[in-house]
Structure 1
Amino acid sequence: MKFHQTPLADLMLVETTLIQDERGQFARAFCETEFAALRPDLHWTQINISRTYRQGSVRGMHFQYPPAAEAKLIRCLRGKIFDVAVDLRAGSPTFLQWHGVELSEDSPMQFLIPEGFAHGFQALTDDVQLLYMHTTAWSREHEGGLRHDDPSLAIAWPLPVTQVSEKDRHAPLLDETFVGVHL
């Protein structure tokens, strides 16, 4: 595995090695030994799979407040997505900046999103499936969200947004009262 730093501090792309032959492909999603150099205490608590039916749909932007703040490792299993992380860490030099990457079933890349970041994605194809690994279990009382179309973030979604959940549509817009996530 190779780790690639993005423009946002601690937000990483993880490149896996695809082994391919006439039978198909094989790749490791996680190796504790290889991740130890980057995050020696990394431990996955919850693993989720999502399926998004329609191209243009957006899920997010989701995060959790401490003490349930979570890191995520995202891998696209089917289709193609535009995956986005927003730095919400109070005091970070990249506070409220976002970074997006394309992930696909054919790509060896995964997105490692640290604690204190919001996460969301747009389906670039129909029938997208993602694997999410989380360091902390989901907690309703610590859940946070931002609007995918918040003008102060100005996320450049590659396609017109066609579907958003009711919950995500009613997430708050950022204002002067948002001071960030204190880890």
Structure 2
Amino acid sequence: MKFTETELSGVYLIDLEPRGDDRGFFSRVFCVNEFGALGLQTDFVQFNTSFSKIKHTLRGMHYQLGAAAEVKVIKCIRGALYDVVLDLRPDSPSFGKWTAAELSAENRRMMYVPRGCAHGFMSLTEDVEMMYFVSAFYDPQQERSVRWNDPAFGITFPHEPALISDKDAAAPDFDRAWHLGEG
């Protein structure tokens, strides 16, 4: 695996290094030694999948607080998606900044999302399936969402959403005390 740190500290794009022959290829998508050598999370408690039937479906921007804060490793296994990470770590020099990348079944790229960052994505094709590791169990009391188009952050998606859940559409604009559990 090749790890490339983005402009957000601790957020990595991970490219696989397939070894192939006439049959196809083999590649690791996770290795304790390789993740650990960079000080990245190596203990995961769930392996999830998400399917978006309609092109330009938007999901996000989600994260959890406290002990429920998650590290996520995202991989698109069907179609293509635009993956977005928003840095909400209070002590981070890149607080309030975001990064994005296209993840697809074709490019096999993955995104490493550290604790304290919100995550969301938009499907770029029909029938998009992604899978992701998470390091903490879901806790609805610690769940937070930031509105996908909150002007405080200026996140740009490649298209207007064709479909977004009521919950994500109703996500509030950023309020530091509530969003970071400080109030």
TM-score by length of 1: 0.93
- 75 and 176 in structure 1: CA distance in 2 versus 1, 3 angstrom threshold: closer
Matched residues, number: 182
C-alpha separation between the residues in 2 aligned to 1:181 and 1:11?
A: 22
Structure 1, unpaired ranges of 5+: none
Structure 2, unpaired ranges of 5+: none
Aligned letter for 1:68? A
Give 1:19-98 correspondences, 5 Å limit.
Answer: 19-39=19-39, 42-98=42-98
Aligned letter for 1:64? Q
C-alpha separation between the residues in 2 aligned to 1:94 and 1:83?
A: 18
Alpha-carbon distance, 1:107 to partner: 1.1
Query: Runs of 4 or more off by more than 6 Å in structure 1?
Result: none
Give 1:109-128 correspondences, 5 Å limit.
Answer: 109-128=109-128
Indicate conservation of the 8 Å contact 1:62/1:119, yes or no. Answer: yes
- 162 and 7 in structure 1: CA distance in 2 versus 1, 3 angstrom threshold: same
Aligned letter for 2:56? G
1:11 aligns with 2:11: yes
Indicate conservation of the 8 Å contact 1:8/1:94, yes or no. Answer: yes
- 10 and 119 in structure 1: CA distance in 2 versus 1, 3 angstrom threshold: same
- 74 and 40 in structure 1: CA distance in 2 versus 1, 3 angstrom threshold: closer
C-alpha separation between the residues in 2 aligned to 1:173 and 1:115?
A: 20
Percent identity over paired residues: 37
Aligned letter for 2:84? V
TM-score by length of 2: 0.93
The root-mean-square deviation of aligned C-alpha atoms, in Å, is 1.7
Task: Tell me the equivalent position of 2:106.
Answer: 106
